[in-house]
Amino acid sequence: MKQPTLRQILLVTDGCSNAGISPVAAASLAREQGITVNVIGVIDRHEMGEQGEREIREIAEAGGGLSDIVYPTQLAQTVQMLTRKAMTRTIHQVVNKELKDILGDSTLERLEPEKRVQVAGMVDELGERSSMEVVMLVDTSASMKTKLPAVQQAIHDFSISLRSRSGESRMAVCSFPGKHQHLDVRIPWTDQVEKAHQLTGSLAVSGITPTGPAIVEAIALFEHVSLPAPLADRYRRESGQRAEDDSEGYLEDHVF
Amino acid sequence: MYSKSAFPPLPREFSGRWNHKRYSVIRPLGQGANGAVYLATQAGRKLAVKIGTDPLDLLMEVNMLKSVQQVRDVKIGPLLCDVDDLLIDGKPCTFYSMEYLEGERLDRYAGRVGREWVPVLAVQLLTRLEILHAQGWVFGDLKPENVIVTHGDKQVRLVDFGGVTKKGNAVRQFTEEYDRGGWQAGDRRAEASYDLFSLAVITIRLMTPDEQWKKFTREGRTVARLCDIIRENDGLYPYRMPLLKALQGIYKDAAAMKRDMVTAIRLRSSSGRKKERGSAAGMVLGGLFVASLLTLAGTLYCFWF
C-alpha cells in the first residue's frame, strides 16, 4: 500500500473567533484539501463558555479531526495524543477504503476480531512510517498570554515526538492574529524546534481573534495545495527563503 | 469528535458475538485514558475484561499482547484469553479478556512493605524488560500504575500494553512523569534505554517521600534535579551508579543495569548503613555530577568512589 502523507493543522485557542470567515467553514475547506484540523482548547479555570466549547467541537468535526479542552499543564501530552489519534483515524479510513475496494461493502468492523487485530497492527505500522506535516496554529490574542509558556513547552515537546518517528516529519508554527496579516509564521517548516523559541515577546495584544481566516491562511503552507500566484509568493517564499527576503525583520520576528 | 468520548458501562452479563463466550461482570477494576477494565468470570474462572473508547487502539493493544511471547518461568504480562465484540444498546463494541492478576499496584505495595524493597522490585522489573527487549519490543509506558506485584509469589507483572512499541519506532504511549522526553533527557524512540530511564525514575520516585518529590519537580523536570534527589537521599545513594547510568542513557541493555543493581544491593546489605557516606564524598559527587553533565564522560566517574 502507498505510504500516505498525513497533513494536520493543530489549532490551540482559548475562546471564540470574532473576525472574518467562520472557523468551521475554514476547517471544512481544509478537510476538502486533505488536511485534518484538530483543536485544543486551553483553559485556566472555567472560563471557556458553552459557545467556545461548541465552536471547538464544531471546528474539529468539520475538519475531520479531534478536539479536547485541557488545562495548560496537560497541553504537551494532549498535543501528542490528539495528533497520534487523528493520524490513526486517517489511516483507518484509508485502510477501510482499500478494504471496500477489495471486499465489496466490507469494512474493518465486519471482519472477525482476529483479522481485525492484524489490520490494527498494519495501521499502526503504516502510521509510524507515513510522512507527517503539522502546522500548529496558536491563538496569541490577549487572553492567551498566561498560557503561552505552556504552549511553548508543548511545541518543543511535540518536536521531540516528531523527531522520534520513523517516517519523515516536519512542523511549522504560526500565530494569529498576525502583525500585518491574519497570521504570522513564527517557525517555518522544520523537523526540530529548539527549546529557546520564545512565544511571549512581541505579542499582538489585540481583541480580535480571526480563527477562520488564520485556518484559511495556514492551508497555504501545505505545498500539495496549488495556490493562486500572489498567495504562493506570500507564504512559500516566506517559509522557504526567508534568509534572502528579510526586509521586514522577519528573522527577529519568528524568534518570538 | 472529542478525543475522550465516554465508553458505555458494561452489562452485567454478556456473550461475545463471534466466539460466544459468556461473561458475568463482578466489578470494575480501573479506568484509564483509553479504556476501562472489569473483573468478570467466564466458564468458572476469573478474568479481566477491557473495553476501550477507540476500537482500533484496543486492537493494537491486543496485537502487542499477542506479539510479546511469554516465557514459561518468568511471566511478563497477563495472558490474552479472548478478543470479541459485544452488543451494547445494539451497537457492537470491541473488548478483550485476559488473565486476572491478583495483586497490588507497585507504588502501593512499596508503600506498604517498605522502601528497601524498591531496588529488589526494580531488579525483578529488569528481568522482564530484558526478555521484552530481546524480542524486539519496548514497554514504553512504564510507571508504577502499570506494574502489579502478585499476591502469593510476589512477582512483578506488567499490565497495560498500550505503550508497547516495536524497537526503532516512536513510543506509542507514555506518561510525562516517567518519560525521557519529558525530562529533557532524549527523544521518544523506542529503545532499551528508554525503558531503563523510566525504571530509574520509578525507583527514585518510589524511594522519595511525596512532599520532597513535589518540591523537587515543581520547577520543571531535568536530570540534574533527579541527581539532586539521589545525592540527598540515603536510601538512593548506594544505587547512584546504576541510576545515573540509566538516566544518562549509558546502558544499552537491561542486563547490564541489572548486574549493577544486584551488585549495589549486595554491597549495601554487607556494609553498614551510612558508613560509606561522608560529606566529602557528597561534595566530590556534586563536582562529578557537573563534570559528567558537561562532558558526558561515560562510565569513568563511577570508579572514583
Predicted ipTM of the assembly: 0.83
Q: What pTM does this model have? A: 0.85
Domain shared by B115 and B95, yes or no: no
Domain shared by B225 and B108, yes or no: yes
Q: What are phi and psi of B137, to 5 degrees?
A: -115, 155
Query: Percentage of chain B surpassing pLDDT 90?
Result: 70
Domain shared by B120 and B199, yes or no: yes
CA pair distance A149, A154, nearest whole angstrom: 9
Look at residue B222 and tell me whether its pLDDT is greater than 80. yes
Domain shared by B73 and B130, yes or no: no
Number of domains in chain B: 2
CA pair distance A217, A19, nearest whole angstrom: 14
Write the CATH number for B109: 1.10.510.10
Whether B153 is a known active-site residue: answer: no
- Asked whether residue B32 is domain-assigned, the answer is yes
How does DSSP classify residue B2? B
pLDDT on residue A200: 62
- Asked whether residue B294 is domain-assigned, the answer is no
Identify residues of B whose CB sits under 8 angstroms from chain A CBs.
1-4, 18-19, 33, 54-57, 59-60, 62-63, 66-67, 83-85, 92, 94, 166, 168-172, 176, 181-182, 184, 187-189
Distance from CA of A71 to the nearest CA of B (A): 15
User: Which of the pair, A256 or B30, is modelled with greater confidence?
Assistant: B30
The residue from B82, B89, B141, B153 that is catalytic is B141
Chain A CB contacts of B60 under 8 Å are 120-121, 123-124
What cell numbers appear for A2 in the block?
502507498
Which of the four pLDDT bands, split at 50, 70 and 90, describes residue B297?
very low
Domain shared by B73 and B50, yes or no: yes
How does DSSP classify residue A220? T
A53 in contact with B at a CB cutoff of 8 Å? Answer: no
With an 8 Å Cβ cutoff, are B54 and A85 in contact? yes
CA pair distance B249, B19, nearest whole angstrom: 45
Chain B CB contacts of A118 under 8 Å are 63
For A87, the enclosing helix (H) or strand (E) is: helix A75-103
Among all residues of chain B, which has the CA nearest to that of A73? Answer: B176
- Asked whether residue B174 is domain-assigned, the answer is yes
Domain that holds residue B76: 4-99
User: Which of the pair, A230 or B229, is modelled with greater confidence?
Assistant: B229
- B45, B70, B99: which is the final residue of a domain? B99
Q: Which spans in chain B are helix H? A: 55-67, 106-113, 118-134, 192-206, 210-217, 223-232, 240-247, 254-270, 279-295
Q: CB neighbours of B228 closer than 8 A, spacing ≥ 6?
A: B216
Q: What is the pLDDT of residues A33-87, one digit of tens each?
A: 999 999 999 998 766 788 899 999 999 999 999 999 999 999 999 999 999 999 9
Chain A CB contacts of B94 under 8 Å are 113, 116
Amino acid at B1: M
Given A82, A114, A121, which is nearest B83 (Cβ)? Answer: A114
With an 8 Å Cβ cutoff, are A161 and B181 in contact? yes
- Asked whether residue B293 is domain-assigned, the answer is no
User: Which of the pair, B302 or B169, is modelled with greater confidence?
Assistant: B169
- Asked whether residue B298 is domain-assigned, the answer is no
First to last CA, chain B: 57
Domain shared by B153 and B239, yes or no: yes
Domain shared by B30 and B112, yes or no: no
Q: What is the pLDDT of residues B13-24, one digit of tens each?
A: 999 999 999 999
- Asked whether residue B230 is domain-assigned, the answer is yes
Query: Percentage of chain A surpassing pLDDT 70?
Result: 80
pLDDT on residue A99: 79
- Asked whether residue B24 is domain-assigned, the answer is yes
- Asked whether residue B38 is domain-assigned, the answer is yes
Which of the four pLDDT bands, split at 50, 70 and 90, describes residue A16?
confident
Chain A CB contacts of B187 under 8 Å are 160, 163-164
Look at residue B262 and tell me whether its pLDDT is greater than 60. yes
Among all residues of chain B, which has the CA nearest to that of A81? Answer: B173
Q: What is the pLDDT of residues B130-143, one digit of tens each?
A: 999 999 999 999 99
Q: What is the pLDDT of residues A113-153, one digit of tens each?
A: 999 999 999 999 999 999 999 999 999 988 888 898 899 98
pLDDT on residue B34: 75
Query: Percentage of chain A surpassing pLDDT 90?
Result: 50
Domain shared by B65 and B176, yes or no: no
Which of the four pLDDT bands, split at 50, 70 and 90, describes residue A198?
low
Of A21, A38, A70, nearest to A137 by C-alpha is: A38
Amino acid at B87: L
Write the CATH number for B25: 3.30.200.20
- B99, B114, B135: which is the final residue of a domain? B99
Domain shared by B232 and B218, yes or no: yes
pLDDT on residue B279: 46
Domain shared by B95 and B183, yes or no: no
Domain shared by B159 and B132, yes or no: yes
What cell numbers appear for A102 in the block?
477489495
CA pair distance B260, B245, nearest whole angstrom: 10
Distance from CA of A187 to the nearest CA of B (A): 20
- B99, B121, B154: which is the final residue of a domain? B99
User: Which of the pair, B52 or B251, is modelled with greater confidence?
Assistant: B251
Domain shared by B138 and B228, yes or no: yes
Distances (CA, A) of A85 to A58, A68, A127, A172: 18, 12, 10, 20
